[in-house]
Amino acid sequence: MARSKTTWQPGSSPNPQGRPSGTGKVAQLRAQLEQHLPDIFSTLMTKAKDGDTTAIKLILDRVVPPLKAHTLPVAFPVSGDSLSAQGAAIIAAMGSGHLAPDQGAAVLAALASQAKLIELDELEQRVAALEGKPV
Q: Quick check: 56 and 48 in contact, CB under 8 A?
A: yes
In a domain, 20, yes or no: no
Q: Inter-axis angle of helices 25-49 and 53-63, to 10 degrees?
A: 120
Domain encompassing residue 101: 83-131
In a domain, 8, yes or no: no
With CA atoms as reference, report the closest residue to 72 among 90, 99, 96. 99
In tens, the pLDDT along 67-97 reads 887 777 777 667 677 888 889 888 988 998 8
In a domain, 68, yes or no: no
In tens, the pLDDT along 15-27 reads 777 777 777 888 8
pTM, 2 dp: 0.46
In a domain, 11, yes or no: no
In tens, the pLDDT along 50-68 reads 999 999 999 898 888 888 8
Averaged pLDDT for residues 34-38: 91
In a domain, 9, yes or no: no
- The total number of structural domains in the chain stands at 2
